[in-house]
């Protein structure tokens, strides 16, 4: 089947979107969530079960402990306490573990073993997935139910000292707090002294119910010098003395109050042998958990070995200990030794509460929950419990009752274990099978794209896609067979849930057919290339296809950018990469212009990219560049050497324009500081948005809108010119209405409205302009002779998008729009047109500038920088579909505007029929290379320390970008089709 | 072209490298607590001074382009002044380029300027020594087939490698390793220096390797 390069590329990107979707679904497993919102949290606790006779105990059991102190030591590995190090450096703790009134456990943390998710796991009892980050898009605060939230609701006074992550997660929950930052890893003494200095005062006061201390020093030492460093011993001794101080103080206070107090020592995650954490090795996963209280009194000779439990069990235990409802999303089970000393009835009551909560969670998350063994056990133990209660109420204390009770107890504990296990296997694991399927599809498409480069960039821009080559049908069916066999094996043996297995057979089969068809196509294309490659090499298509510096830069830049995605810092600071590349591109262009105008030879100097820099200042002194001579780089379109000689001012504009563009980029760069490392630096955007500088902001916005109008109107028809002017005026009115800018006659903005009318007024013009543009395009279809109509139509669509962007951009970002149009105009007039770059180069340059403008807008690879306010422009309430569309457009306005400019430029400037297909193909390829490499990188880095904070948001951005690219490619192809039908 | 020429080129280059090494060690003898990273600006000044001095001495001693006619003192003085102006202009234009590349505009201006100075030392000073303040000659040397001697050829290579070194030196700045050499502009100056040294080493070897293919118009 013969396909145009553009259509082919669009199909490829569409398939890639499918692959990425499957990959993302596997990478971000759906979390186990209680469907009941946290808002209406006052659900009555489950009453005690009873068979026949009614029980009177329907309220929550009273708290077991009066005060709870949690000492969380970051990166405390289990052998630091229970191993030889503990014996040596933590004598007091070792004494408590071995002989004192305590229970000790080894708590297993689930990967990612990073502080923030671990704190969530400890306090909510759930296993945090990345989707949580998405759920609370803008605020880092924890929205789920947690022990802290329940304690606050119950009126407990909580005090916190330590890592400020807690303060961000639980804002306004602490009556008193002091956050220390974990930013300076090299500091491991100050950071802990800042916690300890409060201790004496707080312990003496005793006006609190819960005290949480989070010590960071140990983790910092681990990062600096690893777990075998001598600093570790000193730090452990310090921690031991802190623990002793707290414990003795609690014991001395205990005499005055009725209830005993509880001291919890735990770690959030361990430490690998190199001192880092994040992955799932035994050293990183195992943390000590020690519960100390005078209630846990033991007789001499009672040896308690640390048992293995889950970290999520802490939340349920703390809730029971404080007499609070168990957090709704908790998948943990109560640590039974804590309640062991209580009367049998209370013990059973606690266990019942926990099982009810877990089984409710199971019901909401697993469709076939009735078949779950845990649920069956729960039902049975509940029945037994009811019988026991009846007996208990009838006849008081007896031996039989006790025996029966302990039987019920065992039943409950089994049920708890099974329930907790089946819930936690729902999450916390990457669904590798779905990820692999997605990756395979994406990589196959990428290979296909790469293999068809020579054909697609050929003059005809058409390629043979052997869709129905019968020679490969055997291979095709074999591959399908193998894939389905794998599918059956994986799905029947998988112990965890798998999205791809959950799909219906038809959908899964479709994906498998697609994957094997792609494989066959690749094989046949590959054989074609290998067999047919040799004769073509003898008479080369491009006789003068030497790589210019520009091509080299484009290639190196693309490869460098793709490689940089493997480093977390480069992902965080990706804007720097793009700014750097765009600047270098401008210098390379400037070098090319100088070479054309001064040297006048078609040979290329070997000098690097910067050589002409030094000449900039002195260029005016140099007289004597005889006209221009264009490089013979008309690969696709054999363009004749231009006879026109640029003279006078135009020539100087050509020479100066790269420098103008560089200056524009520098200005835009200081408009929005983005990224992580330098995000706190003062920037123009913050200066402008502060309320003192409203006048400046108004002037700037007005000037930018004026510039936008001047630059856009020249290509429009008179009707859309008027519409554009009114629309831009409406944009200013909208911003004035919502109070971010003001009119000169308006002194004090008292009435701030939502600006619904103004925004809708602008929407009308946006739609009008887009409609006019579409009408022109359709007209061009009917009247093939008039070439200009189509150009005008495309420009109108471009200007409609510009108007929409102007409406959605915040006022301080309007200069970004103005500068983007200015740079586009400069590039078109003085760079691309005179220098005759071919379609592929122009496409890549558009893509680079689009990426740079994405970051100039203030975006970053962090979810928090998405400007959600764009989704509410002109809408009364939150309506999902328009809000999502507007937010996506506002975020990706930079790349989209550059892409629409590319379409217009190529169809108006070049006279070659294949330019648009080439451009579409290049655009698809240059977008899909980073995405496909990135998913492979992310798969291999899935246990990286920053997987949740850095790599996952970037993955989402990449997925979204690919979707946008697919839309752009479809638009390209549509434009290309109209051209095909014309000719 | 004879092998002796290449040997002379090699020796001069070794001298240049030696001067850079000296610029690291000599100040530590005279000054207290001098170190390459902490008192980076001092090192930049000394390195720039050393390299310029060595280049001037080599120019006077070796005289690679011996064709220069005898000329009057005033001509020499104007020539020297012109060279100074060119050097300053190149420093300023480099500074402008660094700012365009994202260097802070106001803070660290001295650091940025000294980076411009050292990059000019590695690139403009050899050009001025070899070609004089003659833009036409510069353009000729840096166009594709314009070199007329091994000296110009090596000039081309060292200049390009200095630029590439400085460019590559900017890459580690965003990494979060928190090393002292990641501070602006240290990594770039070090990159430029390494690039220059690499160019000095590579160019004689490259010329020696390709001595059969290289033909110069005038020789």
Would the CB atoms of B145 and A603 count as touching at under 8 Å? yes
Nearest to A607 among B94, B102, B156 (CB): B156
Range of the domain at B63: 3-209
Please answer whether residues A953 and A42 qualify as being in contact, where contact means their C-beta atoms are separated by less than 8 angstroms.
no
Residue B11 touches chain A, beta carbons under 8 Å: no
Alpha-carbon gap: A860 to the closest alpha carbon of chain B (Å): 14
The most confident of the ranges A344-353, A634-643, A689-698, B192-201 is B192-201
Please answer whether residues A658 and A827 qualify as being in contact, where contact means their C-beta atoms are separated by less than 8 angstroms.
no
Q: How far does chain A reach from its first CA to its final CA, in angstroms?
A: 21
ipTM exceeding cut-off 0.90 for this assembly: yes
Collapse the DSSP code of A263 into the 3-class scheme (helix H, G, I; strand E, B; otherwise coil) and give the result.
strand
Q: Where are the beta strands (DSSP E) in A329-487?
A: 462-464
For A273-320, the DSSP string reads TTS--SS--HHHHEEEEEEEEGGG---TT---PPEEEETTHHHHHHHH
CA distance linking residue A444 with residue A899, whole number of Å: 26
Query: Between these two residues, B91 and A35, which has the higher pLDDT value?
Result: B91
Nearest to A603 among B99, B143, B173 (CB): B143
CA distance linking residue A924 with residue A980, whole number of Å: 20
Query: Which of B85, B99, B139, B153 is the best substitution to test chain A (most A C-beta atoms within 10 A)?
Result: B139
Residue A185 touches chain B, beta carbons under 8 Å: yes
Residue B106 touches chain A, beta carbons under 8 Å: no
Alpha-carbon gap: B171 to the closest alpha carbon of chain A (Å): 8
Chain A residues in contact with B203 by the CB 8 A cut-off are: none
Query: Which of A575, A591, A613, A614 is the best substitution to test chain B (most B C-beta atoms within 10 A)?
Result: A614
Q: Is the peptide bond before B185 cis (omega within 30 degrees of 0)?
A: yes
Q: Specify the pLDDT at position A748.
A: 62
Chain B residues in contact with A617 by the CB 8 A cut-off are: 89, 92-93
Alpha-carbon gap: A75 to the closest alpha carbon of chain B (Å): 20
Nearest to A605 among B100, B101, B144 (CB): B144
Q: What is the mean pLDDT of chain A?
A: 82
Give domain status of residue B55, yes or no.
yes
Would the CB atoms of B142 and A607 count as touching at under 8 Å? yes
For A567, which DSSP code? S
What's the pTM?
0.78
SS (H, E, C) chain B: CCHHHHHHHHHHHHHHHHHHHHHHHHHHHHCCCCCCCCCHHHHHHHHHHHHHHHHHHHHHHHCCCCCCCCCCHHHHHHHHHHHHHHHHHHHHHHHHHHHHCCCCCCCCHHHHHHHHHHHHHHHHHHHHHHHCCCHHHHHHHCCCCCCCCHHHHHHHHHHHHHHHHHHHHCCCCCCCCCCHHHCCCHHHHHHHHHHHHHHHHHHHHHHHHCCCCCCCCCC
Residue B124 touches chain A, beta carbons under 8 Å: yes
Nearest to B176 among A569, A614, A669 (CB): A569
Least confident range from A72-86, A251-265, A421-435, A444-458: namely A421-435
Residue B182 touches chain A, beta carbons under 8 Å: no
Please answer whether residues B125 and B103 qualify as being in contact, where contact means their C-beta atoms are separated by less than 8 angstroms.
no
Q: Does A40 score more than 50 pLDDT?
A: no
Chain A residues in contact with B92 by the CB 8 A cut-off are: 617
Alpha-carbon gap: A385 to the closest alpha carbon of chain B (Å): 58
pLDDT digits (tens, 9 = 90+) for A151-197: 998 899 999 998 888 888 888 889 999 888 765 666 788 888 889 99
Q: Which residues contact A60 (CB under 8 A, 6 or more apart)?
A: A45, A323, A324, A325, A353
Q: Residue ranges of the domains in chain A? A: 2-28+442-528, 67-300, 566-598+646-911
Would the CB atoms of B174 and A606 count as touching at under 8 Å? no
For A908-965, the DSSP string reads HH---TTHHHHHHHHHHHHHHHHHHHHHHHHHHTTT-TTIIIIIHHHHHHHHHHHHHH
Q: Specify the pLDDT at position A644.
A: 46
Q: Specify the pLDDT at position A455.
A: 81
Nearest to A569 among B156, B164, B175 (CB): B175
Element (H, E) at A176: strand A176-180
Give domain status of residue B53, yes or no.
yes
Query: Between these two residues, A661 and A61, which has the higher pLDDT value?
Result: A661
pLDDT digits (tens, 9 = 90+) for A547-561: 788 899 999 999 999
Chain B residues in contact with A622 by the CB 8 A cut-off are: 135
Least confident range from A339-348, A449-458, A497-506: namely A497-506
Nearest CA in chain A to B103: A666
Structure tokens at A442: 């994406």
Q: Specify the pLDDT at position A226.
A: 81
Would the CB atoms of A665 and B170 count as touching at under 8 Å? no
Q: Which residues contact A40 (CB under 8 A, 6 or more apart)?
A: none
Least confident range from A243-247, A535-539, A974-978, B25-29: namely A535-539
Least confident range from A603-607, A616-620, A679-683, B42-46: namely A616-620
Nearest to B97 among A579, A611, A613 (CB): A613
Q: Which residues contact B17 (CB under 8 A, 6 or more apart)?
A: B197, B200, B201
Element (H, E) at A834: helix A833-835
pLDDT digits (tens, 9 = 90+) for A674-717: 887 887 888 888 888 887 888 899 999 999 999 999 999 988 88
Chain A residues in contact with B143 by the CB 8 A cut-off are: 595, 599, 601, 603, 605, 607
Q: How far is CA A356 from CA A326, A351, A385, A419, A567, in A?
A: 10, 9, 13, 10, 45
Q: Specify the pLDDT at position B3.
A: 81
Total residues found in chain A within this entry: 983
Architecture (CATH level 2) of domain A67-300: 3-Layer(aba) Sandwich (3.40)
Query: Which of B127, B176, B184, B199 is the best substitution to test chain A (most A C-beta atoms within 10 A)?
Result: B176
Q: Which residues in chain B show pLDDT less than 70?
A: 1-2, 64-71, 215-219
Q: Specify the pLDDT at position B147.
A: 79
For A598, which DSSP code? I
Chain B residues in contact with A580 by the CB 8 A cut-off are: 101-102, 170
Chain A residues in contact with B176 by the CB 8 A cut-off are: 568-569, 572, 677
Residue B37 touches chain A, beta carbons under 8 Å: no
Section A883-895 average pLDDT: 92
Section A281-295 average pLDDT: 88
Would the CB atoms of A666 and B139 count as touching at under 8 Å? no
Nearest to B175 among A567, A610, A618 (CB): A567
State the count of interchain CB pairs (< 8 A) between A and B: 93
Chain A residues in contact with B142 by the CB 8 A cut-off are: 605-607, 611
List all residues of chain B from 50 to 89 with a beta carbon under 8 Å from chain A.
86, 89
Query: Which of A223, A560, A607 is the best substitution to test chain B (most B C-beta atoms within 10 A)?
Result: A607
Q: Tell me the Cα Rg of chain A.
A: 34
Total domain count, chain B: 1
Residue A576 touches chain B, beta carbons under 8 Å: yes
């Amino acid at each position: 089947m013969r396909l145009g390069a553009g259509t082919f590329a669009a199909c490829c990107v569409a398939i890639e979107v499918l692959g990425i979707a499957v990959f993302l679904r596997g990478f971000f497993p759906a979390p186990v969530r209680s469907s009941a919102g946290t808002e209406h949290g006052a659900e009555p606790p489950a009453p005690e079960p009873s068979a026949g006779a009614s029980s009177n105990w329907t309220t929550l059991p009273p708290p077991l402990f009066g005060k709870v102190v949690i000492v969380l030591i970051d990166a405390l590995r289990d052998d630091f306490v229970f191993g030889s190090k503990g014996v040596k450096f933590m004598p007091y703790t070792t004494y408590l573990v071995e002989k004192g009134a305590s229970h000790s456990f080894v708590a297993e943390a689930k990967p990612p073993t990073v502080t923030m998710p671990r704190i969530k796991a400890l306090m909510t009892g759930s296993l945090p997935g990345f989707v949580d980050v998405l759920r609370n898009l803008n605020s880092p605060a924890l929205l789920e139910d947690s022990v802290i939230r329940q304690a606050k609701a119950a009126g407990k006074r909580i005090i916190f000292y330590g890592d400020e992550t807690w303060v961000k997660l639980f804002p306004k929950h602490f009556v008193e707090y002091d956050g220390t930052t974990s930013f300076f890893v090299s500091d491991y003494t100050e950071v802990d002294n800042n916690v300890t200095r409060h201790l004496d005062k707080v312990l003496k006061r005793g006006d609190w119910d819960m005290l949480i201390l989070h010590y960071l020093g140990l983790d910092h030492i681990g990062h600096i010098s690893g777990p075998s460093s001598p600093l570790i011993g000193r730090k452990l001794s310090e921690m031991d003395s802190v623990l002793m101080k707290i414990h003795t103080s609690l014991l001395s206070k205990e005499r005055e109050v009725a209830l005993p107090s509880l001291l919890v020592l735990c770690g959030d995650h361990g430490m690998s042998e190199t001192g880092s954490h994040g992955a799932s090795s035994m050293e990183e996963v195992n943390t000590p958990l020690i519960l100390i209280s005078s209630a846990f009194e033991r007789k001499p000779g009672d040896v308690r070995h640390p048992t293995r439990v889950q970290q999520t069990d802490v939340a349920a235990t703390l809730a029971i200990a404080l007499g609070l409802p168990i957090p709704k999303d908790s998948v943990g089970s109560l640590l039974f030794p804590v309640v062991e000393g209580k009367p049998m009835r209370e013990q059973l009551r606690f266990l019942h509460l926990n099982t009810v909560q877990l089984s409710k969670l199971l019901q909401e998350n697993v469709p076939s929950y009735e078949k779950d063994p845990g649920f069956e056990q729960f039902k049975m133990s509940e029945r037994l419990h009811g019988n026991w209660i009846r007996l208990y109420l009838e006849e008081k204390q007896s031996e039989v009752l006790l025996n029966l009770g302990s039987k019920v107890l065992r039943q409950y504990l089994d049920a708890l274990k099974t329930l907790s296990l089946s819930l936690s296997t729902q999450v916390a694991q990457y669904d590798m099978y779905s990820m692999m399927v997605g990756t395979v599809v994406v990589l196959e498409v990428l290979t296909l794209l790469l293999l068809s480069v020579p054909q697609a960039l050929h003059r005809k821009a058409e390629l043979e896609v052997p869709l129905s080559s019968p020679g490969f049908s055997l291979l095709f069916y074999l591959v399908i067979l193998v894939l389905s066999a794998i599918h059956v094996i994986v799905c029947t043996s998988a112990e965890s849930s798998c999205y791809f297995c959950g799909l219906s057979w038809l959908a899964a089969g479709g994906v498998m057919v697609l994957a094997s068809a792609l494989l066959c196509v690749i094989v046949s294309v590959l054989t074609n290339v290998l067999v047919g490659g040799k004769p073509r090499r003898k008479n080369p298509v491009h006789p003068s296809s030497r790589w210019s510096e520009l091509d080299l830069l484009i290639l190196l830049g693309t490869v460098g950018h793709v490689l940089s995605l493997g480093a977390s810092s480069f992902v965080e600071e990706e804007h720097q990469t793009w700014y750097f590349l765009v600047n270098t591109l401008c210098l390379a262009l400037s070098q090319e212009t100088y070479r054309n105008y001064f040297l006048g030879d078609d040979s290329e100097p070997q000098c690097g990219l910067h050589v002409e820099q030094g000449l900039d200042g002195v260029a005016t002194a140099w007289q004597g560049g005889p006209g221009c001579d264009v490089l013979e780089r008309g690969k696709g379109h054999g363009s004749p050497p231009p006879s026109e000689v640029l003279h006078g001012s135009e020539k100087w504009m050509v020479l100066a324009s790269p420098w103008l563009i560089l200056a524009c980029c520098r200005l835009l760069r200081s408009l929005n500081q983005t990224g992580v490392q330098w995000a706190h630096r003062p920037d123009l955007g913050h200066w402008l948005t502060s309320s003192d500088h409203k006048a400046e902001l108004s002037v700037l916005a007005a000037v930018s809108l004026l510039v936008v109008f001047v630059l856009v109107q020249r290509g429009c028809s008179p009707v859309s010119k008027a519409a554009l002017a009114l629309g831009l005026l409406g944009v200013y009115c909208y911003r004035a209405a919502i109070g971010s800018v003001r009119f000169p006659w308006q002194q004090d903005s008292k009435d701030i409205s939502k600006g619904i009318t103004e925004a809708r007024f602008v929407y009308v013009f946006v739609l009008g302009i887009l409609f006019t543009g579409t009408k022109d395009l359709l007209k061009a279809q009917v009247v093939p002779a008039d070439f200009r109509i189509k150009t005008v139509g495309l420009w109108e669509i471009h200007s409609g998008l510009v108007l929409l962007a102007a409406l959605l951009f915040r006022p301080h970002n309007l200069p970004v729009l103005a500068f983007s149009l200015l740079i586009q105009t400069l590039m078109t007039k003085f760079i691309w047109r005179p220098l005759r770059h071919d379609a592929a180069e122009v496409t890549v340059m558009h893509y680079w500038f689009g990426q740079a403008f994405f970051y100039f807008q203030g975006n970053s690879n962090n979810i928090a920088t998405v400007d959600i306010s764009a989704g509410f422009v002109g809408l009364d309430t939150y309506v999902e579909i328009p809000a999502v569309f507007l937010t996506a457009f506002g975020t990706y306005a930079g790349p989209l505007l550059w892409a629409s400019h590319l379409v217009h430029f190529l169809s108006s400037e070049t006279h070659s029929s294949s330019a648009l297909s080439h451009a579409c193909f290049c655009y698809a390829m240059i977008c899909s290379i980073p995405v496909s490499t990135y998913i492979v990188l992310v798969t291999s880095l899935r246990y990286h320390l920053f997987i949740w904070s850095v790599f996952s948001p970037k993955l989402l951005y990449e997925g979204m970008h690919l979707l946008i690219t697919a839309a752009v490619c479809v638009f390209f192809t549509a434009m290309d089709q109209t051209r095909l039908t014309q000719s | 072209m004879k092998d002796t020429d290449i040997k002379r080129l090699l020796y001069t280059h070794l001298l240049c490298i030696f001067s850079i090494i000296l610029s690291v060690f000599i100040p530590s003898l005279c000054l207290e607590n001098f170190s390459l990273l902490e008192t980076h600006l001092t090192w930049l000044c000394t390195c720039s001074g050393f390299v310029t001095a060595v280049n001037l001495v080599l120019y006077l001693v070796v005289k690679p382009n011996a064709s220069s006619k005898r000329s009057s003192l005033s001509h020499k003085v104007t020539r020297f002044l012109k060279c100074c102006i060119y050097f300053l202009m190149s420093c300023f234009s480099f500074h402008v380029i660094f700012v365009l590349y994202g260097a802070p505009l106001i803070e660290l201006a001295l650091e940025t300027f000294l980076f411009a100075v050292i990059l000019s030392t590695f690139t403009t000073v050899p050009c001025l020594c070899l070609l004089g303040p003659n833009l036409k000659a510069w353009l000729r040397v840096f166009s594709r087939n314009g070199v007329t001697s091994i000296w110009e050829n090596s000039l081309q290579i060292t200049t390009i490698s200095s630029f590439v070194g400085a460019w590559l030196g900017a890459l580690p700045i965003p990494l979060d390793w928190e090393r002292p050499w990641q501070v602006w502009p240290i990594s770039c100056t070090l990159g430029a220096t390494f690039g220059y040294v690499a160019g000095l080493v590579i160019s004689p070897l490259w010329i020696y390797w390709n001595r059969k293919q290289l033909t110069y118009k005038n020789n």
